[in-house]
Homo-oligomer: A and B are copies of this chain.
Amino acid sequence: MLTIGQLASYAGVTIRAVRHYHQIGLLREPERDPSGYRSYDAAAVVRLIRIRTLAEAGVPLARVSELLDAAPETFAAATTEIDQRLRTQIRELQEHRRRIARLGCSDSLAVPAEVVDYLDRLRAIGAPAALVDNERDAWILMAARWPQVIPELMADKVAQLANPKVVELYQLIGRIADDWTDDERLREIADLMSELFEQAAASGELDRQDEFIPDTAFVHLMDSFANAVHPAVARLRELVAERGWTGWTRIERSGP
C-alpha cells in the first residue's frame, strides 16, 4: 500500500494534483490507514498515470473521466474535438503575435497607418505638438467607430495640406501655441478658417461630411477633444461663429 507521496511520485504528478483529482471526483478517495493517511493500491497508480497522460495532452480535466472508459469511436470523436479546440487556441495566439508585431510604438498605438502618415505631415508643416497629439486621439476614436472610412478621410486630409492656405493656418496656430491670449491673432485665424470653409463649401466638400459622420453624439465627442486643447479654443469658436460657421468636427453654415 502506498502513501499519497509515493503514489504521486510513481505517477509523476504532484501531491496537490492528486488531492485536486479527488476533489473533482476524477480519482476515488481511497481507504485511510489508522492514522488517517490515504492508502493507495497499484490500480490507483495506473488510473493516475492515465489521467496524467490525457491531461498532458491538453484534455480538460472535466472530460478526462469521460475519455478514460470510452468506446473506441467515442474516444476518437472526443479527441478530434479536443484537437479542434487546441487548433483554435493556437490560431488565436498566432493572431495575437500578428497584432503584437504591428503595434508599432506606444505613441502610434491604436493609430492606423494612414493616420500616422498624416500626423507626420502635420508635424512637418509646423503644427504644434499639442495639436498633433489631439488630432491623433481624435482619429483613434474615429478609427474605432468607423474604421472603414479612415483611408478615404485621410486621403482627403492629406490633399488639403496641398492648399497653401491650410498650411498657413497651421503655422498661425503654431505661432500662438505658447500664448493663446492674443485676441488679434485669434481673429486672424478665424478669418483664415472662415475663408477655408468657404472654399470647402464651394467645392462641395462640406456636403460629403455627412456621409462620413452621421452620428451627432459622436460629433460632439470629437468636438470635445478640440475644446480640451486650450480654453482659448472656445474663444476661437466664438470668433468663427461670428463669421457664420458653427461646429468644429463637422462644419455648417449658420450665418451670412
Binding site for B on A (CB under 8 A): 2, 6, 10-12, 41-43, 45-46, 49-50, 52-54, 56-59, 67-72, 75-76, 79, 82-83, 86-87, 89-90, 93-94, 96-97, 99-101, 103, 105-107, 109-110, 137, 140-141, 144-145, 217-218, 221-222, 224-225, 228
Contact = CB atoms under 8 A, between A and B. Distances in A.
The 9 closest A-B pairs by CB, nearest first: A58-B96, A57-B99, A53-B110, A72-B105, A46-B137, A75-B106, A57-B100, A42-B224, A50-B110
A68 B106 contact: yes
Residue among A11, A57, A75, A94 with most chain B CB within 10 A: A57
A58 B141 contact: no
A57 B103 contact: yes
A140 B10 CA distance: 11
Q: State the copy count for this chain.
A: 2
Nearest to A144: B49
Given A87-B97, A93-B58, A97-B83, A107 B72 contact: yes
Contact of A2 (B42, B79, B87, B221): B221
Contact of A141 (B45, B141, B217): B45
B93 A93 contact: yes
B141 A49 contact: yes
A50 B143 CA distance: 12
B97 A221 contact: no
A248 to B, nearest CB: 13
A100 B82 contact: yes
Contacts of A217: 6
Contacts of A79: 100, 103
A221 B45 contact: yes
Most buried by B among A42, A144, A217, A221: A42
17 contacts: A10-B141, A10-B144, A41-B228, A42-B221, A42-B224, A42-B225, A45-B144, A45-B221, A53-B109, A54-B103, A68-B109, A75-B105, A79-B100, A86-B100, A90-B94, A90-B97, A93-B93
B99 A93 contact: no
A101 B75 contact: no
Contacts of A52: 110
A97 B43 CA distance: 28
A56 B106 contact: no
